[in-house]
Copies of this chain bind each other. A is one copy, B any other.
Amino acid sequence: MQMERVEMALETALAEAGGPSCPPLLASALRHAVFPGGHRIRPQIVLAVAAACGDPNPGHTDAAAAAIELMHCASLVHDDLPTFDDAPIRRGKPTVHVAYGEPLAVLTGDALIVLAYETVARAFSADPRQLCDMINIVSRSVGAPGGIIAGQAWESEETISLVDYQRAKTGALFAGATLAGAAAAGRDPEPWRALGDAIGEAYQVADDLRDLLCDADELGKPAHQDERRARPNAAAQLGIGGAKARLTALADAAAASIPDCPGVEQLRAVIRAQTRALFPSQLEQYAA
């Protein structure tokens, strides 16, 4: 149900951008980058937080969820480029640059970033007071100095702090998701940051574990990339048992951090289920 709502919001967002006056290959590449999606975990968080706050403006919520996911898709398209991960597959199919060539992959990422903002502006036109907050939330979670683009840029530095790097590269957009969900529901977003931070770090630890433990078939993308690219990996640093323990602690911290709201219990259950789903199945054999 929530998943259908995310897909519908993304279809709405893409309808005009990829319409008949768009260069046909760009229109096709935009869809390739967005559909079919992965777990859509970030927009689901937007919807879950807004729902916990009563979701008084579903149109705002849909647009916020679409914007966060479009930014995520844009980052995947660019991160997969030959100059970064040089990844041939993503979500089990050829990456955008493999399917459409590198120029269109660069442009697809660019266009998705623009589309994220356009989607929010369109949805908030009747109530522009909240538009400013939403633009700020989205921008901070994506741009410089601390969003996912800056996170990726830390890989070009000679020395990286694992905490700064992962907070920006992965955490920022999860924090953006919880803040956007709260703001879309007309709530003060800032108290929701701790939840996003905890989910983001859990996701990153789980991703690092999967990179270490899984093969490409299971991932739908190349495995063992962190070691190959000499990137910091939490599971390599903490050990697999340590990383498993950290993942459990973060799931608890996430559930405990939820601010007071009408749907706090239901949201807690959603967060617990989602963070549990992050655990790679291979972990069962390792003691925490």
Residues in chain A within 8 A of chain B (CB atoms): 16-27, 30, 74, 78, 81, 83-84, 100-104, 106-107, 109-111, 113-115, 117-118, 120-122, 124-125, 128-129, 131-132, 135-136, 138-140, 142-147, 149-150, 152-157
Taking A26-B144, A103-B156, A114-B142 as known contacts, 14 extra A-B pairs with beta carbons closer than 8 A to each other, sorted by chain A number, are: A18-B145, A23-B150, A25-B153, A25-B157, A27-B144, A106-B106, A107-B149, A111-B153, A114-B144, A117-B135, A117-B138, A117-B139, A122-B136, A128-B128
Q: Are A109 and B110 in contact (CB-based, < 8 A)?
A: yes
Copies of this subunit: 2
Q: Are A156 and B26 in contact (CB under 8 A)?
A: yes
- Across the interface, do A132 and B142 meet the contact criterion of CB distance under 8 Å? no
Q: Is the interface of A mostly helix, strand, loop or mixed?
A: helix
Query: Is A153's CB under 8 angstroms from B104's CB?
Result: yes
Question: Is A106 within 8 A of B131, CB to CB?
Answer: no
Q: List 11 A-B contacts (CB under 8 A).
A: A16-B145, A23-B153, A23-B154, A24-B157, A26-B149, A27-B145, A84-B106, A111-B143, A118-B135, A118-B139, A131-B131
CA distance A19 to B136 in the complex (A): 17
